[in-house]
């Protein structure tokens, strides 16, 4: 793996604009299971019954059975070396922006300052009936949390069937079509429109570097440099190689 990590580090050092795309795999080592691997969330909760906006509108109490479990996991999760590693690359001026599909805020807690939350964030909630908004910590742990209008609140995360926040969509497209390198960490690449970001970057001539414990749909037809392994180990190796190269240059 040493040579492949060196190749990836060289790309990042030479690139004038690198962005990252991350998925649930980057937070697995922080104790948050991903969605589609063995033991993943969608193995335990049918996404058609718990993950669509229609399911939430029809039976919010039921959907909150899953949301409560997820929010407990998020509350105890801490950034792992993959999160802090990407934060370090930003600090070094070598990583422009992180586009994350995750709603766990661990990139920001890991020191990253420019993060696009493509699927929203679980720290705020909204009433989809009267549009009032709340911070999760002002609701005092009430489950399911209720709006002053009496309706059950929904976390500001994107459910299947909901649009991507427009600013996130536009900024991500602009970044993908102007970057020189894209670092993908821990996503299966199975969900649109997030999975069009690597394609857009590739079409713009960017080098695609992918970190995952196993090959994905992206690996076969898009990835230039594949770093197979756990995110915390691979990102740590990559960052230390980048720092070595910076010292040597
Ligand atoms: N290190 C690196 N990669 C890992 C690790 C790890 N420790 N653990 C798992 N992975 C990889 C898996 O092999 C898989 O390819 O992370 C990927 C996680 O894929 P998914 O579970 O499909 O998660 P993600 O790609 O983020 O899903 C996209 O789908 O369900 C919706 O809105 C949800 O944002 C989510 C979107």
Residue 40: CB within 6 Å of ligand 1?
A: yes
Contact (Cβ atoms closer than 8 angstroms) between residue 164 and residue 119 = yes
Mean pLDDT, residues 147-161 taken together: 96
What is the atom index within ligand 1 of the atom nearest the CA of 22?
A: 26
What is the atom index within ligand 1 of the atom nearest the CA of 216?
A: 15
Q: Which residues are known to be catalytic?
A: 119
Residue 230: CB within 6 Å of ligand 1?
A: yes
pLDDT at 104: 97
pLDDT at 139: 79
Q: What is the C-alpha to C-alpha distance for residues 106 and 111, in angstroms, rounded to an integer?
A: 9
Mean pLDDT, residues 160-180 taken together: 98
Radius of gyration of the chain (CA): 18
pLDDT at 142: 84
Q: What is the C-alpha to C-alpha distance for residues 115 and 79, in angstroms, rounded to an integer?
A: 14
Residue 10: CB within 6 Å of ligand 1?
A: no
Residue 43 has pLDDT above 90, yes or no: yes
Residues near 142 by Cβ (< 8 Å), separated by ≥ 6? none
Pocket test for ligand 1, best of 40, 81, 188 (most atoms within 8 A of CB): 188
Mean pLDDT, residues 188-200 taken together: 98
What is the atom index within ligand 1 of the atom nearest the CA of 29?
A: 7
**Which secondary structure element, helix H or strand E, spans residue 9, and what is its range?**
helix 2-14
How does the average pLDDT of the chain come out, rounded? 96
> At 157, phi and psi to the nearest 5?
-110, 150
Residue 143: CB within 6 Å of ligand 1?
A: no
pLDDT band of 248, cuts 50, 70, 90: confident
Q: What is the C-alpha to C-alpha distance for residues 162 and 155, in angstroms, rounded to an integer?
A: 13
Percent of the chain's residues with pLDDT above 90:
94
Contact (Cβ atoms closer than 8 angstroms) between residue 95 and residue 11 = no
């Amino acid at each position: 793996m040493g040579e492949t990590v060196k190749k990836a580090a060289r790309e990042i050092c030479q690139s004038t604009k690198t962005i990252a795309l991350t998925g649930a795999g980057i937070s697995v080592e922080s104790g948050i299971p991903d969605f589609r691997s063995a033991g993943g969330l969608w193995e335990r909760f049918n996404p058609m019954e718990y993950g669509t906006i229609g399911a939430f509108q029809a039976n919010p109490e039921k959907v909150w059975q899953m949301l409560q479990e997820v929010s407990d996991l998020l509350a105890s999760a801490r950034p792992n070396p993959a999160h802090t590693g990407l934060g370090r690359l930003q600090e070094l001026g070598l990583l422009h922006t992180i586009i994350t599909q995750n709603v766990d805020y661990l990139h920001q807690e890991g020191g990253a300052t420019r993060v696009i939350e493509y699927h929203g964030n679980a720290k705020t909630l909204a009433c989809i009936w009267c549009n009032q908004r709340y911070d999760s910590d002002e609701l005092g742990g009430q489950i399911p949390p209720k709006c002053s209008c009496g309706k059950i609140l929904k976390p500001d995360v994107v459910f299947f069937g909901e649009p991507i926040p427009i600013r996130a969509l536009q900024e991500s497209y602009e970044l993908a079509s102007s970057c020189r390198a894209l670092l993908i960490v821990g996503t299966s690449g199975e969900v649109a429109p997030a999975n069009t970001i690597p394609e857009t970057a590739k079409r713009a001539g960017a080098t695609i570097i992918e970190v995952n414990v196993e090959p994905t749909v992206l690996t076969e037809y898009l990835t230039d440099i594949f770093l197979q392994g756990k995110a915390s180990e691979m990102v740590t190796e990559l960052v230390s190689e980048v720092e070595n190269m910076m010292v040597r240059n």
